[in-house]
Structure 1
Amino acid sequence: MCTFAGFAAEPTETGKKEEAFNPGQVILHHVADSHEWHWFSTDNGNFITYLPIIAYQPSKGLSVFSSKHIVEGETYGNFKLEEEHLVTTDGSKVYDFSITKNVAALAVSSLVLVIVFISVARTYKRRAGQAPSGLQGFLEPFVIFIRDEVAKKSIGPKYERYMPYLLTVFFFIWFNNLLGLTPGAANLTGNVAVTAMLAVLTLIVTLFSSNKNYWTHIFWTPGVPLPLRIIMIPVELVGVIVKPFSLAVRLFANITAGHIIILSFISLIFIFRSAYTGFLSVPFGLFISVLELLVAILQAYIFTLLTAMYIGGALEEHHDEEHGHGHEHDDYGFAEERQGGSNFANLTKPDIAAH
């Protein structure tokens, strides 16, 4: 019989008393990062991949060893783990460069993305002018959707240069959201450090894409009285930082919340110690799991859409009042690109290959 991540109550040596089940500890163990990759547990033991510990001490230099020596609360040399933080027994300074579960998952997901899109790019070269099929046919609608419904409408005529970044963000988040739902996988997009880094990249792209009109609206907002302009400067500057911050928190909170809800339903079985609880918790847990499949792509879409909107706002030019919206729309030349057959073939070199 499988135990719940190795934390199910087990009898002591005397068999008189069982250890109490701690649902909070179990849930945090699943959603947090760790120095080992715990796949699953059975009565025969735990199936764990121990990851390398890479620590640097200014006084002693570099140390590299397996996390197997310290994950069970043991001390190796002068190293030990306290709530998954590497510390030293003598209190000396240590810098942790270890390959944690999330770092390993990041490497795996990045490798998957590279393999997938290299395969798709080669398929387009081999089947030039033919109808898409297989993996190529599955991914083409998503790329066309990001191009036509996100990039073009949010950024405008300069959308092409940002397609590689938007596609990378969309598929990276979507793939990792799905991988996070598989048993034993890492909760990569539920790690605020990962989502914050994605948000920082969006901020960098937005700021380096900004024009004079963008900064004019921040430091000298047109159309408002002079005293109010001065007040608006710090407000607008805070808004520049808050926008990407909201991206990071939204993705992190939604993905983490889904995992916590599913694990909470499963924990009910062990809390009440009754198989009958499974008739309630398992269907609800399954429903949330299916709902998370929708959330996985929805959160990837929202992050990509807001990123495109921020970039579009930074690129927006000042238009005279005599120019109506219809005139601006005609300048984009969208209708011209929608003619003919598959538009995705035109994206292969600038978008997919770069992605």
Structure 2
Amino acid sequence: MRKLLAASLLLLSFISLNVSPVMAAEEEEGKTAFIMHHIKDAHDWHIVDIGDHAISIPLPIILITDGKLDVFSSGEFHHTDDGSVPVVRGENTYLKYHEKIYLADENGGLTMDADGHPTNAKPFNISITKNVASMLISVAIIFAVFFTVANRYKKNGVSAPKGVQSLIEPLVLFVRDEIAIPNIGKHHYKKFMPFLLTVFFFIFINNLLGLLPGAANLTGNIAITATLAVFTFIITTFSANKNYWKHIFAMPGVPKPLLLIMIPVEILGMFTKPVSLTIRLFANITAGHIIILSIIGLIFIFQSVAVGPVSVALGSAMTFLELLVAFIQAYVFTLLSSIYFGGAVEEAHDH
């Protein structure tokens, strides 16, 4: 218990060290502005601030401008975010402003509109950002784990699991026996298992990685959650049988005049399902990060020693709660996907 408490205090202390300089730097814009700084995507991987010096890992900037490819390190922007230090690449001059890259105007700067937003042209940006790098790391972890488990099964056959098998096998059986079979059925679940296992472990591992100090907020990025939801929508739509479409366009037992109302509602429901999947995962993960950072930020807002122990205690409790949320959100996304698949392949005589 003491070791667990010490680890929690060390984790929260590291987070505090990470956010306090940002807090001071953005005090004029509001004392909570540092929260959004830590949950948004970036072109470099910020590790920690020591005094006024930021320690970051530069990531590749990959831009396409007028059909020409420009590749360079994000370190060439010198960690500025106000567009004051341009990067000249041949005929093109690039500026970074709020983690977006623009082409410099004829004066070598940014042209702002009345609302303070740049009006400069943007190159086509396919850079390896912090979230992309985190996703690649998680994919590498997933491949390493499952190739290791698969090779052990090939070598030892069906036997008592050892090592990483002891962790992975119960989770695989849980997805199969508690999610796939009850919601899809014994006759159809197997073809959906690769996707269900992939999405479960992808979300779960990235949720856990997102809790590490300085980590990326991948599953709190709505583009990632939307992509996963779109895959669920596509698989559901292309797996659907006649009975599924019959219940949308010609519902049994419904008077024909009511079909004029029910058909648009059912079609709308097809598209609201992936939207709900997207927002549910994005909102829950993002909210967890914001709450933890807000609790730790209280130390710097009130600037009181008395607030420190309370913030650390609450932050520690919230961090452990987020470990549970990491599993729950992976479970819920996989569960709802399996329910949609089950509805798409259900036969008319099934009960």
Corresponding residue for residue 101 of structure 2: 86
- Corresponding letter in the other structure for 1:47: I
Identify unmatched segments of 5+ residues in structure 2: 1-15, 106-119
CA distance in 1, matches of 2:235, 2:224: 17
- Corresponding letter in the other structure for 1:308: S
Q: CA RMSD in A?
A: 1.8
Matched, 1:33 2:44: no
Are the aligned partners of 1:8 and 1:21 in contact in 2 as well (CA < 8 Å)?
no
Deviation at 1:23, TM superposition (A): 3.6
Q: Which string of whole-angstrom CA distances, capped at 9 and with x for unpartnered residues, describes residues 96-115 of structure 1? A: 11111000001000000000
Are the aligned partners of 2:35 and 2:290 in contact in 1 as well (CA < 8 Å)?
yes
- Corresponding letter in the other structure for 1:171: F
Deviation at 1:5, TM superposition (A): 6.0
The change in CA–CA distance for 1:140 and 1:151 in structure 2 (over 3 A counts) is same
Q: Which string of whole-angstrom CA distances, capped at 9 and with x for unpartnered residues, describes residues 173-192 of structure 1? A: 00000000011110000000
Deviation at 1:6, TM superposition (A): 3.7
Q: Which string of whole-angstrom CA distances, capped at 9 and with x for unpartnered residues, describes residues 215-267 of structure 1? A: 11111122111111121111111100100110110000000000000000111
Q: Which string of whole-angstrom CA distances, capped at 9 and with x for unpartnered residues, describes residues 18-70 of structure 1? A: 96584432100111101110011223832200111111112x72211111222
Corresponding residue for residue 138 of structure 2: 109
- Corresponding letter in the other structure for 2:152: T
State the secondary structure of the residue aligned to 2:32. helix
Percent of aligned positions with the same letter in both sequences?
A: 51
The change in CA–CA distance for 1:21 and 1:227 in structure 2 (over 3 A counts) is closer
The change in CA–CA distance for 1:3 and 1:230 in structure 2 (over 3 A counts) is closer
Corresponding residue for residue 246 of structure 1: 276
Say which is worse superposed, 24-33 or 189-198, in terms of deviation: 24-33
- Corresponding letter in the other structure for 2:87: Y
**Which of 87, 106, 109 is matched with 1:76 structurally?**
87
Deviation at 1:276, TM superposition (A): 2.1
Corresponding residue for residue 299 of structure 1: 329
Aligned counterparts, 1:323-342, within 5 A: 325=351
TM-score, with structure 1 as normaliser: 0.84
Are the aligned partners of 2:63 and 2:123 in contact in 1 as well (CA < 8 Å)?
yes
CA distance in 2, matches of 1:209, 1:89: 48
TM-score, with structure 2 as normaliser: 0.85
Are the aligned partners of 1:5 and 1:38 in contact in 2 as well (CA < 8 Å)?
no
Are the aligned partners of 2:20 and 2:300 in contact in 1 as well (CA < 8 Å)?
no
CA distance in 1, matches of 2:297, 2:316: 14
CA distance in 1, matches of 2:60, 2:30: 28
Say which is worse superposed, 212-221 or 259-268, in terms of deviation: 212-221
CA distance in 1, matches of 2:341, 2:151: 30
The change in CA–CA distance for 1:83 and 1:43 in structure 2 (over 3 A counts) is closer
Say which is worse superposed, 64-73 or 147-156, in terms of deviation: 64-73
Matched, 1:149 2:178: yes
Q: How many residues in Structure 1 have an aligned counterpart in Structure 2?
A: 313
**Which of 181, 201, 217 is matched with 1:171 structurally?**
201
State the secondary structure of the residue aligned to 1:275. coil
Corresponding residue for residue 342 of structure 1: none
CA distance in 2, matches of 1:50, 1:149: 43
Corresponding residue for residue 52 of structure 1: 60
CA distance in 2, matches of 1:162, 1:244: 17
State the secondary structure of the residue aligned to 2:299. helix
Say which is worse superposed, 101-110 or 117-126, in terms of deviation: 117-126
**Which of 94, 98, 102 is matched with 2:127 structurally?**
98
Matched, 1:119 2:148: yes
CA distance in 1, matches of 2:273, 2:50: 45
Q: Which string of whole-angstrom CA distances, capped at 9 and with x for unpartnered residues, describes residues 106-155 of structure 1? A: 10000000000000111112222321111101111111111111111100
**Which of 25, 32, 57 is matched with 1:24 structurally?**
32
CA distance in 2, matches of 1:171, 1:177: 10
**Which of 288, 297, 307 is matched with 1:277 structurally?**
307
CA distance in 2, matches of 1:22, 1:67: 27
CA distance in 2, matches of 1:69, 1:143: 45
